[in-house]
């Protein structure tokens, strides 16, 4: 049997040494944060973090602790990023968020040749959002999964990504919120697209011939009232509405149909059997444009953040109170679970304002002071729905 008190005393001594080293590390983290602020560099540096992990995990004498050591360093680096962001936000008067830090793109055109990525096939609503936001004169590439957009941006294969984040009928897309947290990229713009779903098939297909319907799960949800009238339909989820249309075109079966846009139906030479079958006739999907760097200008009027609070009564209320106190309109509140802490949550918040405004600076500083985690996701021009 070990002498419990003796071992606990040894752990106390180790904790004191760890705390002293932690303090030294945070001081160096702030020095690097100041360098990033002055040189307008992004806080998140994936290559550097992978280098830190590889270098330090390799030094372990007891290899049984590799996974735990990886978790430890990941957490330390997450804390370091948060500290740098807090420092940068508090030092806004020195130009990092000044009016001179203009976005790299403008509504009148792009400053340089860029490549934009979107998820899905040509003819998808994502491609439509891309075209409406960036125009049709940019290079584009499409990928299969939401996370592929983030991976392509991380590898510098694209300059920006266009990805859906919420629908006016079915709410937020949880996976996208989680990916924003995982990769640490910024929201630099948004575009809202009116979504009208149509039941489509091969030319000449009759409604009573259809046995199977293919589409994205979100489309099924948005068309559920229509589909209740056809309980014999077998609903088969696909990655994308346009992918579903492409499949029907290739399969050549009149027993199969897809739910997609009119544009996708035209692109894949399909006939509309029933049009506008979504139950909400004001059905919009909000797409965000993501990039590696924070980009703002004087027109930016919408801010997105993610934060966590202490798991105590009234903690979230105090955070939300700061919006009222500073006369800022909160537009959205979305919660996502913290994976390693049951019944605790990240809170994604959208609110009106520009980071140059004193009221916004005060609000963010107050939130940071009362948060256990904070990340600025972006300050961009919000898109209005007519």
Q: Any idea which residues carry the catalytic annotation?
A: 285, 287
Asked if residue 141 lies in contact with residue 117, where contact means CB atoms within 8 angstroms, the answer is yes
Please give the structure tokens belonging to residue 325.
């106190």
Tokens 């004001």, residue?
A: 282
Query: What 3-state DSSP class applies to 153?
Result: helix
DSSP H or E run through 326 = none
Query: What 3-state DSSP class applies to 257?
Result: strand
- For β-strands 115-119 and 171-172, DSSP reports them as unpaired
Cα separation, 282 vs 169, in Å, equals 9
- For β-strands 256-260 and 212-215, DSSP reports them as parallel
Please give the structure tokens belonging to residue 32.
């690097």
Asked if residue 242 lies in contact with residue 123, where contact means CB atoms within 8 angstroms, the answer is yes
Q: Which residues pair with 350 in a beta bridge?
A: 304, 332
Nearest to residue 255, comparing CAs of 318, 326, 201? 201
Asked if residue 126 lies in contact with residue 264, where contact means CB atoms within 8 angstroms, the answer is no
CA distances from 196 to 9, 139, 193, 225 (A): 66, 26, 9, 14
Burial zone of 13 (CB within 10 Å; 0-12 exposed, 13-18 middle, 19+ buried) = exposed
Asked if residue 213 lies in contact with residue 234, where contact means CB atoms within 8 angstroms, the answer is yes
């Amino acid at each position: 049997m070990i002498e419990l008190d003796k071992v606990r005393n040894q752990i106390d001594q180790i904790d004191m040494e760890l705390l002293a080293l932690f303090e030294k590390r945070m001081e160096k983290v702030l020095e690097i944060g100041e360098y990033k602020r002055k040189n307008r560099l992004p806080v998140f540096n994936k290559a550097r973090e992978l280098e830190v992990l590889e270098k330090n995990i390799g030094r372990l004498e007891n290899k049984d602790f590799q996974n735990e050591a990886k978790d430890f360093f990941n957490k330390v680096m997450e804390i370091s990023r948060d500290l740098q962001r807090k420092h940068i936000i508090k030092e806004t008067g020195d130009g990092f968020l000044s009016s001179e830090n203009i976005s790299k793109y403008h509504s009148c055109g792009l400053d340089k040749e860029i490549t934009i990525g979107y998820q899905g096939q040509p003819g998808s609503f994502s491609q439509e959002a891309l075209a409406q936001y960036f125009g049709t004169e940019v290079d584009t590439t499409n990928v299969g999964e939401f996370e592929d957009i983030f991976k392509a941006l991380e590898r510098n294969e694209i300059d920006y990504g266009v990805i859906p984040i919420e629908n006016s009928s079915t709410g937020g897309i949880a996976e996208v919120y989680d990916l924003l947290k995982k990769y640490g990229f910024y929201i630099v713009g948004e575009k809202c697209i009116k979504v009208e779903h149509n039941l489509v098939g091969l030319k000449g297909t009759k409604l009573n011939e259809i046995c199977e319907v293919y589409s994205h799960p979100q489309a099924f949800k948005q068309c559920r009232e229509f589909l209740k009238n056809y309980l014999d339909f077998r609903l088969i989820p696909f990655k994308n509405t346009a992918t579903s249309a492409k499949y029907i075109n290739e399969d050549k079966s009149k027993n199969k149909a897809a739910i997609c846009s009119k544009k996708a139906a035209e692109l894949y030479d399909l006939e509309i059997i029933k049009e506008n079958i979504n139950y909400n006739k004001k059905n919009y999907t909000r797409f965000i444009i993501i990039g590696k760097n924070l980009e703002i200008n004087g027109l930016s009027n919408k801010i997105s953040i993610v934060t966590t609070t202490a798991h105590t009564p009234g903690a979230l209320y105090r955070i939300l109170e700061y919006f009222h106190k500073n006369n800022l309109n909160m537009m959205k509140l979305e919660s996502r679970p913290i994976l390693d802490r049951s019944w605790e949550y990240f809170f994604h918040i959208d609110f009106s304002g520009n980071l140059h405004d004193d009221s916004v600076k005060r609000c963010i500083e107050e939130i940071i002071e009362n948060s256990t985690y904070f990340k600025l996701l972006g300050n961009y021009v919000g898109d209005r729905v007519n």
